[in-house]
Structure 1
């Protein structure tokens, strides 16, 4: 069954990366950790430099290209797609908010794959909205910062070379922010900084090979130049993320595509495509996938009057479509879908995980609908 091209631009190392994903994704999911071969292929491909500007070793691509490449990777392995998505998200924040020195120092290494980046925003007690952080950054007399606390559900924990850490820099009262607080700041912290320790013991149900775990920071001292963006202004950076058009809905689209490929091929092999009822069901499923893809593409183009709302809608809708599509196709597979080794079950677990990744679908609904009450 022919499918739409996910990117119009040539990509160095794409074939090698996709071949590595096809070979190692299932085993990595069973083992619950990323495949070294896949990580090597990610670092060697051009996807790591997609958003960095050309003069710093990247492609200078927009978020439409990012969404397409993430969907393509997720079609083969959603766990790797999440790792790459977070790497590109941090790279984008450095492009948008980094000082000239930060950009010169970090972006060439991130673009080449020498370094991988990860976001460390979430905390167990702060909730999905990243409020009331327990990770505290204290300014020292020489202008450096001492950061202590713990981060949960950090994708790429233990394999990233640099973390974008969200910390409380000033205690503030409730300021009415829906996501984050005005007293928070971002810091770029290399993984070899003394005092930072990853914990990868977390055993997930979905996205098992995404290296999602905890990051502990114990008197982790970083220079003043490690702060990314304005002091106490992390909420402005976060708001810009929603406006960027990059969406985890692309991961959901990739999962739905993979489920379609699997079910269609199973039906073809069993000679079931001559049954009109089955063809009609498959057509309905295909239509849902195309609708989700169209919304993800629109988010990446950032051409809507409110691009942030479209980005959030794309995450909600594509995530729900992926879950529905996988469930529908699992039923069409019949008894084969109940075998634990059938790939459709891994797709179901991964699709569910997308809805729970930040911003969670429920938080995305809150972010979309809160302005209606003002």
Structure 2
């Protein structure tokens, strides 16, 4: 794998990831040692602009870093991806005060960020939100519940999507009557619930976030009121792709299969070599499309980002399944890493925007 540029040192972080990934998955929660290492690394600063103490990394840099982390620990990669995404939203849409206050803390790892967008009844397209923000003289009161929030309970600030105006909207993703709010985890009106027991990405601290009359000031609003759909539409144009997580998992699975073939002296068999070549081609095709998304060179970079997530997650599942078949009965042992890889690979396809929603977002302009 390519080298990581880390304040605490690549070897130290990678060793911690390797040591704790399997046990954290079994426990269903992130390792404190891993979280400390992540906060002490240069990774939280990657997507923060340089003027706020960050590295100023673009979508390509984010995708490469996330793929490298996902190779060792996909759950941690997802936590970092969401942190970087929130940093990018603040850098693009935040007020000068929000940038000055939040971005330096997010860059140093003192604070980690999480997105709280999804709701059980709103569907993948984030319609019909039950989380309501009522405007008051001195700010807002927000009540509702969020599901599948990655980093719930361990991050320091949430980017919360709420309904601020009731409107009829036929847009494909989000509603024009929705707004984003930046809410510190210390706000007494926000409470995480980690009772959600996931099949995949078990160490990602993905759970519920409940908001009960959560009082925030006017300065908590990110961007103009009722423009969340515009902000959401711009997310994919950054080129940062969840497909990067799939690339890391797929490469780890391929290496596992190759090493098993070496141990069993199977590389003399043409059928095994050719199967490994076919699987490797899928890994490289996924990587190429994710990197293309990060470069943002296409006429419609947002569509390439969506395509990269669809293709990389599907390729990853195929590679993991192919390696599992190569491993035979050894892969049927519950402790074999291929089983965790399979569960994590499937999880990426279900993360927002889900693959089905991604297909809809790409294809909607074709409709009459």
Provide the TM-score with structure 2 as the length reference: 0.98
- DSSP 3-state at the match of 2:21: helix
After superposition, give the CA deviation of every residue in 1:121-145 in whole Å (9 maximum; x if it has no partner): 0000000000000000000122x00
Corresponding pairs, count: 367
Within the alignment, does 1:170 sit opposite 2:165 as a pair? yes
Q: CA deviation at 1:270?
A: 1.2
- DSSP 3-state at the match of 2:103: helix
- DSSP 3-state at the match of 1:272: coil
- DSSP 3-state at the match of 1:55: helix
Within the alignment, does 1:148 sit opposite 2:143 as a pair? yes
CA contact (8 A) 1:86 1:155 kept: yes
Residue 126 of structure 1 is matched in structure 2 by: 122
CA contact (8 A) 1:206 1:353 kept: yes
What is the aligned counterpart of 2:331 among 333, 337, 340? Answer: 337
Residue 248 of structure 2 is matched in structure 1 by: 254
Matches within 5 A, 1:9-88: 10-13=5-8, 14-88=10-84
CA 1:314–1:6: 2 relative to 1, 3 Å: farther
- DSSP 3-state at the match of 2:212: strand
After superposition, give the CA deviation of every residue in 1:243-287 in whole Å (9 maximum; x if it has no partner): 110110000000001101111111111111111110000000001
In structure 2, the gaps of 5 or more residues are: none
Within the alignment, does 1:105 sit opposite 2:101 as a pair? yes
CA contact (8 A) 1:70 1:251 kept: yes
CA contact (8 A) 1:246 1:300 kept: yes
What is the aligned counterpart of 1:117 among 97, 103, 113? Answer: 113
Within the alignment, does 1:197 sit opposite 2:191 as a pair? yes
Residue 152 of structure 2 is matched in structure 1 by: 157
Q: CA deviation at 1:77?
A: 0.6
Residue 263 of structure 1 is matched in structure 2 by: 257
Provide the TM-score with structure 1 as the length reference: 0.97
Calculate the aligned-residue CA RMSD, in Å: 0.9
Residue 304 of structure 1 is matched in structure 2 by: 298
Judge which range, 299-308 or 49-58, deviates more: 49-58
After superposition, give the CA deviation of every residue in 1:287-346 in whole Å (9 maximum; x if it has no partner): 110000000000000010100000000000000000000001100011101111100000
- DSSP 3-state at the match of 2:51: helix
Tell me the distance in 1 between the aligned counterparts of 2:302 and 2:51.
28
What is the aligned counterpart of 1:291 among 278, 285, 298? Answer: 285
After superposition, give the CA deviation of every residue in 1:83-130 in whole Å (9 maximum; x if it has no partner): 000000000000110111100000000000000000000000000000
Tell me the distance in 1 between the aligned counterparts of 2:12 and 2:100.
29
CA contact (8 A) 1:6 1:68 kept: no
- DSSP 3-state at the match of 1:333: helix
Q: CA deviation at 1:16?
A: 2.1
Q: CA deviation at 1:230?
A: 1.3
In structure 1, the gaps of 5 or more residues are: none
Residue 223 of structure 2 is matched in structure 1 by: 229
Residue 342 of structure 2 is matched in structure 1 by: 348
